[in-house]
Structure 1
């Protein structure tokens, strides 16, 4: 499974970003996170990247009056702040829009524009590699991968999906990575259907997993916290693309792979808290959480109680 880079700001630029920037040939475009850090003049509030620079970042930055240079990823943004007017210039083309919740901004790979935003901004960004969009398009039989440039374009569906990533990182590497993979593929599917030069509905896929395939997927998800539970590994096990696996798994179980694994980890936690004297710290570590605080927050989000309170009530 691709190792993600997780950062909660404010901090200096993540080492992987600095390394990519230092090694970037002058004839090539910058990775999206590197260019955004340069133009915004700050560090992300939170960011999760894979080795290819794809991922999700939550930025809170000051007014912007600068040119965003061409990047090596498609960048999709969802605005999460107070309403304000802004201006975007690409060559002789000028777009004037209104930033407000429910709108999206799309900067296709390789494009460049000047931005004039008069007030502070709170925005969640998706960095989408061209190869990821091409893979999803192939799996979904989408006719085009040419994303349209969008400026404060109304799309509450895409906006809501992307903003949901701002507070879902739970401090559990397997869960967080699986969520980002699912969300990225879902967003890519939505972009292909609504924001390409030849938009068309993605062909629906019916039917669930065969019983043997479902058993294999669940066996992998139930394995220990060091196992590879990436979408790529799960789909490969049953001979499906990631796109078709996610749809078939949900058809069979009623849950996405991420939601199923989260529920399974919660059941494991409850069993350990009820049936053993293991400390909350030990339970958190056994289930792959980076800290007791992260585990407690995830447990409370699903049950309404802290692990300690839940244990005391059961005993």
Structure 2
């Protein structure tokens, strides 16, 4: 799958008419003069891009994205104006809401101006439209009735928090957990189906749990592959479930998401190696699947309350 990226915010039309006086930014010091890419991460069903935006842009002609796009403000407050199909929408944009745009959107015009001194930081998440159709199909719904309802300033705390957490992971680590990203992507797709489709969908709540044998099969696979990337679909295939249903059933069975379970298993193995082997902290990190020593140290301290080096110091001489 090819993601086109956020070319729109990088290509402003210099021929756009001048901005009205009311849209001049209240604060411009230390503000970027053009959009700059701060970070980017891509997975098979999701791409996340982080941007530093100008404090003010004049009325700009934009084309719809090639993928379903969720855009959220991470910091700053702006006075926004969007014009499309002869209609104008003006609103105050703050962190906490989401803007949804689809490939079916008509070309539109947009302008904004900062209302506070905080830097304008945005996150853009791209999902293929086929993801929603597949999620609907595996949930027993009609995939032909999947059409996302676009909107600006959408107050959906779950959709925002999922998107914000993914953006924070991209900003904080060089390579966020693939399993976490895939699980979060499935949750995004489910929430879009439940709350943001032109046709209402009620996802079935299947109360089943994994059998002890199925759970053991998953645990054995995870323990045998701690040093490599573990994908959500690999775990789901072990118990003959779709990725969507596996996430729900696994959480109901264990009380943990698949990503939380994977991190716990890696931390347990790491502790064993730190105490009982001659491997350095960096080598232990690589053995349990972390290419970044710093990321491993941060995760280990968060989950155990100790630094990895404090464990190695306790090794018998």
TM-score range, shorter chain: 0.7 to 0.9
Verify the 8 A CA contact 2:43 2:178 in the aligned structure 1. no
TM-score (norm 2): 0.81
Q: CA deviation at 1:197?
A: 0.7
Q: State whether structure 2 residue 23 is matched by structure 1 residue 50.
A: no
Residues 314/84 of structure 1: CA separation in 2 closer, same or farther (3 Å cut): farther
Which position in structure 1 is the counterpart of 2:137? 138
User: Partner of 1:220 in structure 2?
Assistant: 221
What is the total number of aligned residue pairs between the two structures?
A: 286
With normalisation by structure 1, the TM-score equals 0.82
- Corresponding residue of 2:15: none
- Look up the match of 2:22: none
Deviation track 1:208-237 (CA, whole Å, cap 9, x = no partner) reads 112322222222211234556211121122
Match of 2:123 in 1: 124
Tell me if the contact between 2:227 and 2:287 (Cα under 8 Å) persists in the aligned partners: no
In structure 1, stretches of 5+ residues that fail to align are 3-19, 21-29
Where does 1:142-291 land on structure 2 (aligned, <5 Å)?
Answer: 142=141, 144-169=145-170, 176-225=177-226, 229-291=230-292
The alignment's C-alpha RMSD in Å is: 2.6
1:32 paired to 2:5: yes
Change (3 A) 1:158 1:292: same
In the alignment, the residues of structure 2 paired with residue 110 and residue 213 of structure 1 have an alpha-carbon distance, to the nearest angstrom, of: 42
Q: Distance in 2 between matches of 1:218 and 1:64?
A: 52
Question: How far apart, CA to CA, are the structure 1 residues paired with 2:231 and 2:10?
Answer: 28
* Residue number in structure 2 paired with 1:59: 51
- Misfit runs of 4+, over 6 Å: none
Secondary structure of the residue aligned to 1:216 is helix
Shift of 1:74: 0.3
SS at match of 1:88: strand
Computing the radius of gyration from Cα coordinates, the structure with the larger value is: 2
Matches of 1:213 and 1:189 in 2, distance apart?
A: 24
Q: Is the 8 A contact 2:38 2:50 kept in 1?
A: yes
Q: How far 1:80 sits from its partner (Å)?
A: 1.9
The runs of 5 or more residues in structure 2 that have no matched partner are: 13-32
How many Å apart are 1:34 and its aligned residue?
4.2
Q: CA 1:209–1:64 in 2, change beyond 3 Å: closer, same or farther?
A: farther
Deviations 1:239-298 (A, max 9, x none): 111111111111111111111001111111111111122111111111221221121122
- Separation in 2, partners of 1:172, 1:278: 23
Q: Deviations over 1:22-64 (max 9, x none)?
A: xxxxxxxx72344454459544322211357x32222222134
- Aligned residue in 1 for 2:90: 96
